[in-house]
Amino acid sequence: MLIGVSDGIKDLSIKLGDLKNFLADADRRNITDESVRGWVGELKRAMYLATDIVDLCQLKAMEQGQTKDRGCLNPLLVCMRNPLHAHDIGTRIKMLNQNLDDICKRGSSFNFIKLEAYQDRKMTGYHATGRKTDSLMERSGAVGDKIEEDTRALVEVLTREAASDKRDRFMVVAIVGAGGIGKTTLSKKVFNDDSIKGKFTKNIWLSITQDFNDIELLNKAIIAVGGDLPGGGGARDRDLLVGALNNAIRDKKFFLVLDDMWGVDAWDKLLMAPFSYGGPGSRVLITTRHDTVALCMKVVHYHHVDKLGAKDAWSLLKKQVVTTEKDEPEIEILKDIGLQIIEKCDGLPLAVKVVGGLLCQREKNQRAWQKVLNDDL
């Protein structure tokens, strides 16, 4: 079962990496057909669920060996510790994989997305690692007054005029915090804020993988800016792509989010030069786990994300398990044990959401939740 869980996670990673490209293609087109729009929405929702599983598994796998067991979630959702839990997680991953396959089969008739590449990639030994560049994935589940306050504070910093705007083309702001703590969720709320949308001519979202490919990242940046890909999208020459990005962003006042920065190479060696052609007053917002990354990028404002408090964590957990109005009183009765479950999530929103997914498959009673607390965590 443990091998099956690992293989299932690998399959999900591969599919997510490919399907985000197809969604980017769909996002560039003016889709009016309701059936197509519905299909795209369904695919996004399925990918959201799959991304949570993959992200948390990768996060906990990376933390293995760096921290001692403190009663929190361990690598691969602690399924290595409990065979029953492994079966549960394995079943969810299998269902997510099957759901993505089914959705893509139904979407094969929409010729604006080349799903043949997805099918071909499934048949190869291609391995995807880390998050793929993505301007579409929206992660729900943000809760509490704190994230609203943080969003307002960041929007105020990003939209106010600065004395340096006349001298410098852009200003860099950073969101710093541990993996799974909600940096991407916060940055997405900022990105979607109406004040941000109205302030900048171009709003660009790029996620940066640890092993990013220069050509792929430049292509994604050009698409996100709304530029024209040289050679009809088949160009592999770095200088040609940099020139296309220069032209696309030239004199445009932009807001650029660089999500999940592990180092500065993507910025220093690839993106900084072309984005320097943007208009005065532009802003760059990065999310990173490492203060050193922010320091090297000459950040002028740091925002450190704190772990969820018990109140907000409980609200987030309820959002995952309350599906109908009649569920609300049943869940409130379980609040005491729910708070114990939350404590083991160590304040990480991603952990709370995934545990909420597990609880959704259990009976809403104390015995079932106690079993999750005792056996699965």
pLDDT by residue (tens digit) across 138-173? 333 455 677 889 999 999 999 988 777 666 789 999
In a domain, 324, yes or no: yes
The mean pLDDT value for 281-302 works out to: 92
Domain boundary among 304, 329, 352: 304
Domain boundary among 286, 304, 322: 304
Among 82, 2, 85, which Cα is nearest to 357's? 85
Q: Based on the fold, state whether residues 157 and 290 are members of the same structural domain.
A: yes
In a domain, 12, yes or no: yes
Q: Among 11-20, 123-132, 169-178, where is mean pLDDT lowest?
A: 123-132
Residue span of the structural domain in which 106 resides: 2-122
Q: Based on the fold, state whether residues 11 and 52 are members of the same structural domain.
A: yes
Please report which confidence band the pLDDT of residue 1 belongs to, taking 50, 70 and 90 as the band edges. very low
In a domain, 110, yes or no: yes
Q: Based on the fold, state whether residues 168 and 288 are members of the same structural domain.
A: yes
Among 74, 140, 68, 146, which Cα is nearest to 308's? 146
The mean pLDDT value for 69-84 works out to: 43
DSSP state letters, 326-347: THHHHHHHTHHHHHHHHHHTTT
The mean pLDDT value for 205-218 works out to: 89
The mean pLDDT value for 284-308 works out to: 91
The mean pLDDT value for 257-273 works out to: 94
Q: Based on the fold, state whether residues 282 and 208 are members of the same structural domain.
A: yes
* Contact call for residues 42 and 103 (beta carbons, < 8 A): yes
Burial degree of 301 (CB within 10 A; 0-12, 13-18, 19+): middle
* Residue of higher predicted confidence among 1 and 169: 169
CATH of residue 194:
3.40.50.300
pLDDT confidence of residue 358: 78
CATH of residue 322:
1.10.8
- All residues at 6 or more sequence positions from 353 whose CB lies less than 8 Å from its CB, including other chains: 52, 141, 316, 320
Q: Looking at the predicted structure, is the pLDDT value of residue 78 above 60?
A: no
Please report which confidence band the pLDDT of residue 10 belongs to, taking 50, 70 and 90 as the band edges. low
CA distance 33 to 110: 10
* Residue of higher predicted confidence among 214 and 120: 214
CA distance 359 to 311: 18
* Residue of higher predicted confidence among 27 and 333: 333
Cα-Cα-Cα-Cα dihedral sign, residues 141, 316, 290, 62: negative
DSSP state letters, 183-214: HHHHHHHHHT-HHHHHH-SEEEEEE--TT--H
Q: Based on the fold, state whether residues 219 and 88 are members of the same structural domain.
A: no
* Residue of higher predicted confidence among 89 and 252: 252
Please report which confidence band the pLDDT of residue 128 belongs to, taking 50, 70 and 90 as the band edges. very low
Q: Based on the fold, state whether residues 274 and 316 are members of the same structural domain.
A: no
* Chain mean pLDDT for the chain: 76
CA distance 235 to 238: 8
